Amino acid sequence: MSYYRRRLLLVEDEPGLVLTLGDLLRAEGYEVEAAGDAAAAERRLAAAGFDLMLLDVMLPGRSGLDLLRDLRAKACRLPILMLTAKATPPERVVGLKLGADDYLAKPFDSLELLARIEALLRRSQSQGQPSPSGFGGISIDAERSEAKRGDTVLPLTSQEYRLLLYLLEHSGKTLSRDRLLDEVWGYGADAASRTIDVHISALRQKIEDDAAHPRHIITVRGFGYRFEP
């Protein structure tokens, strides 16, 4: 698949890294715009459409996590890859719960960065494919990439929506964390297996009547999860 002219927004306040990443991404055929803080990023988003955002956690003024929270609260479904110098487990969990699609710690390998961008773009593009119609009072609107309970749109992130579709398409089958990482995230399972548990927990909060006692997303201890529509 070609990603020629796919548009990326790089939100980073370190000039050297903006220059380095900009050159790397443009050499791969992407269009890249940069913003040095959260306010500038919001102006860029309002002025033009983007396919993916690379968002640094440590920004002047409002942090990347604050921007992420605000965007998801506005139902922004743009795939977001967080970049951070810390990447401690608590910070990753917070970012994922707020709606980040992926996390990458600095310093990172350029090939790994490109692979993760490619995986997120590929999964985002695949949202237009046929999907199940729904389950348990929840309907799937494939054309709008939305899940609804009645007339209310569920506040799913783009990654939560993709995860829900995959679970629906494989209803009744026990799926390992490794398989979910490979098929939904699109990169090696050794990247961050905790990612699956965080997204499953967030998804349960939004689709289950009682997240503490789920009847749709069932945990198969020691292996993974099974979806029961």
The percent of residues above 70 in pLDDT, for the chain, comes to: 89
Structure tokens at 200: 């499953």
Residue 125 banded pLDDT, cuts 50, 70, 90: low
| pLDDT of amino acid 192 | 58
For the chain, give percent helix, strand, coil, nearest 5: 40, 20, 35
| Residue 164 burial by Cβ neighbours in a 10 Å radius (0-12, 13-18, 19+) | buried
Max CA separation in the chain (angstroms):
51
In the predicted model, what is the mean pLDDT of residues 76-84?
Answer: 89
Position 195 confidence tier, pLDDT thresholds 50, 70, 90: confident
Integer angstrom CA distances of residue 11 from 32, 61, 121, 126, 228: 10, 13, 17, 25, 39
Q: What does the pLDDT read at residue 221?
A: 87
Range among 2-16, 49-63, 71-85, 177-191 with highest mean pLDDT value: 49-63
Label the pairing between strands 80-84 and 102-105. Answer: parallel
Q: Which residue intervals of 84-222 are DSSP H helices?
A: 89-98, 110-125, 158-169, 177-180, 194-207
**35-49, 114-128, 133-147 — most confident range:** 35-49
| Neighbouring-strand partners of residue 105 | 84
Domain ranges of the chain: 7-126, 129-227
Min mean pLDDT across 7-11, 141-145, 208-212 is at 141-145
Cis peptide before 90 (omega within 30 of 0): no
Query: Judging by DSSP bridges, how do beta strands 146-149 and 134-135 pair with one another?
Result: unpaired
pLDDT of residue 96: 84
Contact of 196 with 176, CB cutoff 8 Å? no
Assign 49 a pLDDT band (cuts: 50, 70, 90): confident
Q: Which one is predicted more confidently, 187 or 164? A: 164
**pLDDT band at residue 193 using 50, 70 and 90 as cut-offs:** low
pLDDT in tens, 27-36: 988 889 999 9
Q: Output the pLDDT for position 183.
A: 79
pLDDT surpassing 60 at residue 228:
yes
In this predicted structure, what is the pLDDT of residue 16? Answer: 94
User: What is the model's pLDDT at position 1?
Assistant: 31
Mean residue pLDDT of the chain comes to 84
Q: What confidence score (pLDDT) does residue 12 get? A: 96
Q: Read off the pTM.
A: 0.60
pLDDT more than 90, % of the chain: 38
Q: Is the pLDDT of residue 74 over 50?
A: yes
Amino acid found at 162: R
| pLDDT computed for residue 81 by the predictor | 95
Tell me the fold of 7-126. Rossmann fold (3.40.50)
**Domain covering 129-227, topology:** Arc Repressor Mutant, subunit A (1.10.10)
Reference 93, options 22, 194, 214; nearest CA is: 194
* 94 three-class SS: helix
Distant-in-sequence, close-in-space partners of 22: CB < 8 Å, separation ≥ 6:
10, 32, 34
